[in-house]
A = this chain, B = another copy of it.
Amino acid sequence: MSQPKIRPSKPLSSESISQWDIETDIAIVGFGGAGACAAIEASDAGASVSIFELASASGGSTALSSAEIYMGGNGGTPVQQACGYDDSTENMENYLKACFGNQGDENKIKAYCENSIGHYAWLTSMGVPFKMSELKERAIMALTDDCLLYTGNEKAHPFPDYAKPIPRGHNLYIEGDNGGPLLMKILTEQVEKRDINVHYESRALTLIRNSAGAVEGLVVRINQEEKTVRAKRGVILCAGGFCMNEDMVRHYAPSFDCGLTPIGNPGDTGSGILMAQGVGAGTVNMHECFVSLPYYPPSSLTYGILVNDKGQRFINEDSYHGRVGYNTLMQHKLSKRIYMITDVDGYGDYEKMSYLGAQVAATGESIAELESELELPEGSLQFTLETYNRHAEKGDDPLFHKAAPWLREIKPPFVALDCTLGRGPFYPFFTLGGLDTLATGEVLTPEREIIPGLFAAGRTTAGIPRTAAGYASGMSVGDATFFGRLAGKQAATN
């Protein structure tokens, strides 16, 4: 197989094409969650569909994820209702707006919340199984086959000030961290059932447009030959994000070009974004990424506190790991070290269960001893921990408002984990910026005019999730599958 082509070439002019090798109504680039859903909906709307996937199998980053699909509103999904939660659309919208503030796309948030129950119904109609049960533990992902769990900051300050906490992460009905593979297996089978042409090991090289600026097709390389594809109703780019493209990360998201670990599939090279930019597409939110400090499991570390090299706390530690990761990364701008301070009870099963990889930096029978071993300014950690403990006993955290269930005195002997970036801990990241699109998938110019014939969905676009500080697990797969469907439907109406 040839080397990935990071920088697609300029668009070809359709007037220069003498022969179309492949003709289809809709051409979809990428067979992950977004591409699969786009293909199914477009086909069900009567369009002929061809998918071009550079790997030798479907999956994309969706198959690598836990796929805890973020859904709710409308009175609650059947699972939410079965578990006793009444979720209103307004409440879900308020929550998402609080998560992303000015960065959020109001139209996408509105479409997502209003149609979330419909998306649940569609997924189950495809055969995606959900158990009518809840996982009550604080977890990064469900390792049981239970469905509903809190996957974001719903219960963490300040979000309850904006929206009533409701769990919206929907884990698939399968044991272990296998939701993503199962979701893609089901969606792939649905694609295969339909009259959809899937071309694997096919790399999209460049778009083809006419002199009026409308996209009419693309060039793909299959078996080392370049083929022209005519897409009569449109091209849908579902080619993933750009976390695997170091140049693009440095160029657009420099705050995240600092030794984080990209998580995604090898095709997350930004090729969809670049191809669209070649025909005049605009981008948005390119500077933002998901980033995490995955310090739970064990959830018992949530009883601990995170401090910077001034011995100061900086976040309520019951926040979602992405929000903690974001704020920890920002702390590095003015702090050389970050520690998680816990006790033996909090440390618990850390060595058995953790994904974090942080090493024990110090232990101590007294806070003063720990402080000195960590070379923190004298008195700093003592003040921070004494203040924390004094209030925690009373179920209170006047500084950062960690919720009462996670407040308890941290007792000697103490343990400090070194959470400093570059000194062991796992800081995964992927990109949250991309093409600016309408909720229905049309790709926009920088002036927000529609580029005829061009659609996109998934992490090739800037979708629902806009910053790790407001992220919840399941927002990206939720966004990719939901807006993939809309793009497929919309392209089919062309």
Question: A interface vs B, CB < 8 Å?
Answer: 7-8, 101-103, 250-252, 254-255, 257-258, 274, 277-278, 280, 282, 284, 286-288, 310, 312-315, 327, 330, 333-334, 377-380, 383, 387, 398-400, 436, 445-447, 469
Contact = CB atoms under 8 A, between A and B. Distances in A.
A454 to B, nearest CB: 15
A334 B377 CA distance: 23
Task: Return the 10 tightest CB-CB contacts between A and B, nearest first.
Answer: A102-B254, A287-B287, A277-B446, A377-B398, A310-B399, A103-B254, A7-B447, A102-B257, A383-B383, A312-B312
B314 A102 contact: no
Could you say how many copies of this chain the assembly holds? 2
| Best-surrounded residue of A251, A314, A327, A379 (most CB of chain B within 10 A) | A251
A298 to B, nearest CB: 25
B257 A333 contact: no
Main DSSP-derived SS at the A contact region: loop
B447 A284 contact: no
A8 to B, nearest CB: 8
A427 to B, nearest CB: 15
19 contacts: A7-B447, A102-B250, A102-B254, A102-B255, A102-B258, A103-B254, A251-B436, A252-B284, A277-B282, A277-B447, A278-B445, A278-B446, A310-B399, A314-B334, A330-B330, A377-B387, A377-B398, A377-B399, A378-B398
Contacts of A284: 251-252
Nearest to A6: B447
Given A102-B250, A102-B257, A312-B312, 7 more contacts: A286-B287, A310-B399, A327-B334, A334-B400, A377-B398, A380-B399, A383-B387
B255 A333 contact: no
A334 B315 contact: yes
Contacts of A274: 446-447
Contacts of A310: 312-313, 399-400
Nearest to A273: B446
A201 B257 CA distance: 44
A251 B383 CA distance: 42
A254 B101 contact: yes
A256 to B, nearest CB: 9
A333 B469 contact: yes
A312 B331 CA distance: 14
Contact of A445 (B258, B277, B314, B398): B277
